[in-house]
């Protein structure tokens, strides 16, 4: 059985307290973020059901939200996810070259994970870093002004973690 730690459960209560009585469903999106980061980087049916039970809502209400938002992973992912932006302004600055370089370097396609389970490559739409293009999201942070050399360094950095 999946369960948040006591500390996380305190955090859950704090989040629910932000909303008026009976409106605890508002905590769903924050709780799904928490479940994803606590339970292996993706949302399994089991972790979604757990979140539903915490908020006293039906599991279907969780599934319909989890499938709508692009930040939730509905299948297992690698330890490090390269989410490379491919929208207009990044494209003008060579995001296609960066995506192709990562594909070759890691020998995976978009949406795939390396055999050692370390890296997943995703393409994403505009992340609001257009002036610092090309860029990608890695965990909770952005990596900007990407070049092949920078990508090499990021891969090494991740391997060292």
Partner 1 sequence: MAKKVLLEKAHIKGIRAYDVYKAQGGYASVEKALKMDPAAIVEEVKKSGLRGRGGAGFPTGMKWSFLAKPEGVPRYLVCNADESEPGTFKDRYLMEFLPHLLIEGLIVSSFALGSNSTYIYIRGEYAWIVNILEQAIEEAKQHGYLGKNILNTGFDCEIYVQRGAGAYICGEETALIESLEGKRGNPRIKPPFPAIKGLWDCPTVVNNVETIAAVVPIINMGGEEYAKIGVGRSTGTKLLSACGNINKPGVYEIDMTISVEEFIFSDEYCGGIPNGKRLKACIPGGSSVPILPANLLLKTAKGETRYMNYESLSDGGFATGSMMGSGGFIVLDEDQCIVRHTMSLARFYRHESCGQCSPCREGTGWMEKILTKIENGKGQSSDIDLLWDIQRKIEGNTICPLGDAAAWPVAAAIRHFRDEFEWHVNNPSLCLTENYGLAHYADELSIVS
Q: How far is the CB of 126 from partner 1 (least distance, A)?
A: 4
Extract the tokens encoding 131. 């002036």
Tell me: does residue 28 bind partner 1 (CB under 8 A).
yes
- Pick out residues in 55-94 that bind partner 1 (CB under 8 A): 55, 61, 64-65, 68-72, 86-89, 91-93
**Residue 130 found at the interface with partner 1 (CB under 8 A):** yes
- Structure tokens belonging to residue 134: 């090309």
Least distance (Å) between residue 116 CB and partner 1: 26
Q: Which residues bind partner 1 (CB under 8 A)?
A: 18, 20, 23, 25-30, 32-33, 55, 61, 64-65, 68-72, 86-89, 91-93, 124-133, 137, 140-142
């Amino acid at each position: 059985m999946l369960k948040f730690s006591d500390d996380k459960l305190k955090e859950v209560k704090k989040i629910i307290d932000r909303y008026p009585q009976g409106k605890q469903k508002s905590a769903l999106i924050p709780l799904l973020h928490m479940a994803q980061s606590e339970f292996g980087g993706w949302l399994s049916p089991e972790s979604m059901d757990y979140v539903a039970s915490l908020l006293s809502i039906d599991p279907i209400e969780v599934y319909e939200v989890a499938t709508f938002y692009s930040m939730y992973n509905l299948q297992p992912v690698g330890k490090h996810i390269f989410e490379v932006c491919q929208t207009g302004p990044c494209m003008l600055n060579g995001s296609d070259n960066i995506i192709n370089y990562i594909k070759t370097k890691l020998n995976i396609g978009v949406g795939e994970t390396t055999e050692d389970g370390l890296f997943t490559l995703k393409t994403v739409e505009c992340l609001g870093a257009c002036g610092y293009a090309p860029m990608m999201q890695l965990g909770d942070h952005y990596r900007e002004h990407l070049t092949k050399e920078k990508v090499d360094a990021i891969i090494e950095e991740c391997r060292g973690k």
